[in-house]
Structure 1
Amino acid sequence: MSFLTIAKASKSYGATTVVRDFDLAVGKGEFISFLGPSGCGKTTVLRMIAGFETPSAGHISIDSRDVTLTAPNRRRIGMVFQAYALFPNMTVAENVAFGLKVAGADRATIEARVKDMLALIHLEHLAERYPYQMSGGQQQRVALARALAPKPQVLLLDEPLSALDAKIRVSLREEIRAIQKQLGITTVFVTHDQEEALSISDRIVVMNGGRADQIGTPFEIYNRPATRFVASFVGTLNLIDVTVADPAAGTVKIGEQIVTLKEVLAASSGETVTLALRPESGSILDGARGDTALTGEVVSSNFLGSVVRTRMRVGESLISFDMFNSPGFAPPALGERVTLRFSAADLLVLRD
C-alpha cells in the first residue's frame, strides 16, 4: 500500500504547463529519486508535495490523508534545500532545535532530540558553532538534522549535494542513504545527476517535459529504458539506426551485416528503427562470449583511466565500446578491423 500518493497532478503558470498528469505511488520507507534535466518539472512536483505549490489539477495524499490544500506546516514534511538555508545567527544546536521550538516542544524534549540528531550526523562536537564556521558538507548535514528533528512523515531533498565538491558529494549521499534506512523514513530526492540517482535509490522517476517517462528500479532504468529519452539521458549509449530485414525473424541490417534480435519487430521490411547498445556490453578480446558479433574499423581510442573507450565504424554507424584498463591490455590501433562480440539481448529497440 502506498504511503505517499500523487494522482493526476498538473501544474500550470498561466498558459504554460510545467507538470502534466503526474502519477506516483511511494511505499512507506521507500527512497525515490526524481531524475531529469533542468526545467523537466521535478522540483515543481517536490514543491507540490511540500505544499509550497498548489496543483492546478489532481490530488496528493500522505498516509491516506488528502493534503492537496493543506498548508506546508501541517503536512509533517521535512525539507532539505540546495542552498542549506541555515539561520546564520543561530548555532548548530539552535538550528536543529528550530522546528521543535516552533512546534511547541518542551525544553527537555528539545535538548534530547537535538542531542540525538547531532549524534546521528556525527557533529556533536560542533553544537556551538555557527554556520559560517563550518564547511559546506557540515552545513548540509546540519540542514538534514534540522529537517529530521521534528520526526516528519516524509523527507524531501531538493538537489542537496549540487553545491558540494565531488568527493564530499559521494560520501554525503552514502550518509544520507544510511540515515534514511536507519530511520525508515519515506524520502523523495531530486537530482540531475544520474550517478546519484542510480547509486542510492529504491526507484527512479525519470522526468521529461513535465511527465514521468519511466518509473523503475535503477537496474530497470539503466538496462531496460522505456523510451529514447531515458536511454539517452541515463548513462552512455550507442544509438544505431538500422534497416529492418525480416520483422518476423527479428533481423536487421547494420551496414552490410545482418543481426538477429531477441524480439519480433513491429515494423515493415526496409523500415528504419533505432537500436541502443551500452558501451560496456561487448568485448573484442579473444574468447569473448556472445551470440552476436559486429566487425568494423577502429576510428578512435580514448584512455579514460579505468576504461579505454574505442569507437569503430560499421556501415554508416559509429559504435563505442569500453574495455577495462590493465597493464597487459593494448588498445586496438586506428584503422584496425576488430570484431565486437555481445549478447543479442543487449540490443534494445527504442520506442518514443
Structure 2
Amino acid sequence: MSFLVLDNLQKSFGPVQVVKNFNMSIEKGEFVSFLGPSGCGKTTVLRMIAGFEAPSGGTISIDGRDQSRLKTNQRNIGMVFQAYALFPNMNVFDNVAFGLKVAGTPRAQIEARVKEMLALIRLEHLADRYPYQMSGGQQQRVALARALAPKPQLLLLDEPLSALDAKIRVSLREEIRQIQRQLGITTVFVTHDQEEALSISDRIVVMNAGRADQIGTPSQIYNRPATRFVASFVGTLNMLDATVVDPAQQTVQVGGQVITLKERLDGKSAGDPIVLALRPEAGSLGGPGDSTLKGDVLSSSFLGSVVRTKISVAGSPVSFDTFNAPDLAMPKPGQTVDLRFSSGDLLVVRD
C-alpha cells in the first residue's frame, strides 16, 4: 500500500483551474521531486498536501488516512520553505525546539532531540546564535532541523535552495538527500531546477499547466521524455523535423537523408510529419553509432571539459558535445561533417 496517495486532486482559484486531475502514489521512504516552471501548479499541490490550501476536488491520503478534514497541525508533516521562515527573536536551539515545545514535550526530551538534530546538520556549535548571525545556508539547515525535530511522517520542501548561491545549493542539496536517506523519511521536494531534481530524486514529476506530464525516475525523464514539453524542459534537446517513409521499416527522412529508427512508429503512415529529438551528448564525429546525418558546421565552442559544435542538418541547428582532449581538432565553420549516433538515441517526440 502506497504511503502518500493523491487521487484526482484539483484546485481552482475562481475560474482558473491551477491543478487538474492530479494522480500519484508515493511509497514510504521515497524522495519525489515536483519539477516545472513557475505557475505550473507544483507548489499548489505541495500546499494542499500540507493543508495550507483546500482541494477543490479529489483526496489526499497519508498512510491510509484521509487528510481532507485535518488541519495543518494535525497532519504530522514537516515543512521547509524557500525563505527559511526562522523566528528572528529565537536562537538556533529555540528555533529547532519550537515544534516540540508546542507539542508539550518534556524539557529533557526537547534538549536531547534538539542536540540530536543539531548534530545531524553539523551546527552544534551555533546553538546560541540568532538567524541574523548566520549565512543563508546555515539558516536553511536550521529550518530543516526544525521541521524534522517533531519526527514528522512526511517532509515537504518548497524550493528550499533557490535563495542560495550556486555552490551552497549543490552542497546543501546533497546534505538534504543524505539526511533523508539516513532518516528514511518520505519526502516531496518542489523545484524549478532540473539539475536539482535529476541529482537527488528517486522519482520526478514533471508538471505542466496543472498536470503531471510525466512521472518517472531521473533516467526515464531524461532519456525517454514522454511529451514535447518534457523533452524541451528537461535537459537540452535537438529537435529535427522529419517525414515518415515506411512505418513498418521504421524509416524516416530528414531533409533528403533517410535513417532508420529503433523506436516503433505505431499509428503513423507514410508521409506523416514527425519531430525527432537527440541529446547533444549522443552525437559525435566519426565515433560509434549505426546512424549518420550529414551537416555543415555552424560553430565550435571550447567550454573546458567539453567542445560544443553546432551544425546545420536540413536547415535545423543541431548541437553536440564532445569531451575535450589535448589532440582534439575542432571542426571549422563551413566544414561538412557526418554526425554519428545510435538509432536508439533518436526519440520520436509525442504531444
- Fold similarity call, TM over 0.5: yes
Q: What is the identity, as a one-letter code, of the residue corresponding to 1:125?
A: H
Aligned pairs (5 A) from 1:264-283: 264-265=264-265, 266-283=267-284
Q: Distance in 1 between matches of 2:303 and 2:59?
A: 47
Read off the aligned partner of 2:285 and give its amino acid letter.
I
Q: What aligned pairs does 1:171-210 form with structure 2 within 5 A after superposition?
A: 171-210=171-210
Residues 80-229 of structure 1: pairs in structure 2 closer than 5 A:
80-229=80-229
Aligned length, in residue pairs: 350
Letter in structure 2 aligned against 1:87: F
Partner Cα distance (1:199, 1:214) in 2: 17
The 1-side partners of 2:87 and 2:143 are apart by: 10
- Residue of structure 1 in register with 2:329 after alignment: 330
Paired with 1:19 and 1:309, the residues of 2 have a C-alpha distance of 39
- Conserved? CA contact 2:243–2:252, under 8 Å: yes
Measured against aligned partners, the alpha-carbon deviations of 1:288-324 in whole angstroms (never above 9, x if no partner) come to 2111111111011122232111111121222111111
Q: In percent, how many aligned pairs have the same letter? A: 73
Q: Which residue of 1 aligns with 2:78?
A: 78
8 Å Cα contact 1:54-1:69 kept in structure 2: no
- For 1:3, the equivalent position in structure 2 comes to 3
CA contact (8 A) 2:263 2:347 kept: no
Q: Deviations over 1:211-266 (max 9, x none)?
A: 00000000000001000000110000001111111121111111111000113322
Range that drifts further, 253-262 or 95-104:
253-262
**TM-score normalized by structure 2?**
0.98
What letter corresponds to residue 314 of structure 1 in structure 2? V
| In structure 2, C-alpha distance between the alignment counterparts of 1:51 and 1:232, rounded to whole Å | 32
The equivalent residue for 2:254 is 254
Paired residue for 1:348? 347
CA distance in 1, matches of 2:89, 2:324: 51
Q: Tell me the distance in 2 between the aligned counterparts of 1:231 and 1:315.
A: 21
Instruction: State the superposition RMSD in angstroms.
Output: 0.8
Q: State whether residues 51 and 69 of structure 1, in contact with CA within 8 Å, keep that contact through their aligned partners in structure 2.
A: no
Tell me whether 242-251 or 186-195 shows the greater mean CA deviation.
242-251
The residue aligned with 1:315 is 314
For 2:349, the aligned partner's letter is L
Q: Tell me how far apart the structure 2 counterparts of residues 188 and 331 of structure 1 sit (CA, whole Å).
A: 44
Q: Which range is displaced more, 320-329 or 147-156?
A: 320-329
Amino acid at match of 2:231: A
Q: What per-residue deviation string (whole Å, max 9, x for no partner) do you get for residues 1-30 of structure 1?
A: 210110000000110000000011000000
Where does structure 1 lack aligned partners over 5 or more consecutive residues?
A: none
Distance (whole Å) between structure 2 residues aligned to residue 17 and residue 69 of structure 1? 22
Q: Is the 8 A contact 1:8 1:57 kept in 2?
A: yes
Which residue number in structure 2 is paired with residue 48 of structure 1? 48
CA distance in 2, matches of 1:151, 1:330: 57
Letter of the 1:351 partner, please give it. R
Runs of 4+ aligned structure 1 residues displaced above 4 Å come to none
Contact 2:295 2:311 in 1 (8 A): yes
Give the secondary-structure state (helix, strand or coil) at the position aligned to 1:2: coil
Residue 240 of structure 2 corresponds to residue 236 of structure 1:
no
Counterpart of 2:177, as a letter, is: R
**In structure 2, what residue type is equivalent to 1:273?**
I
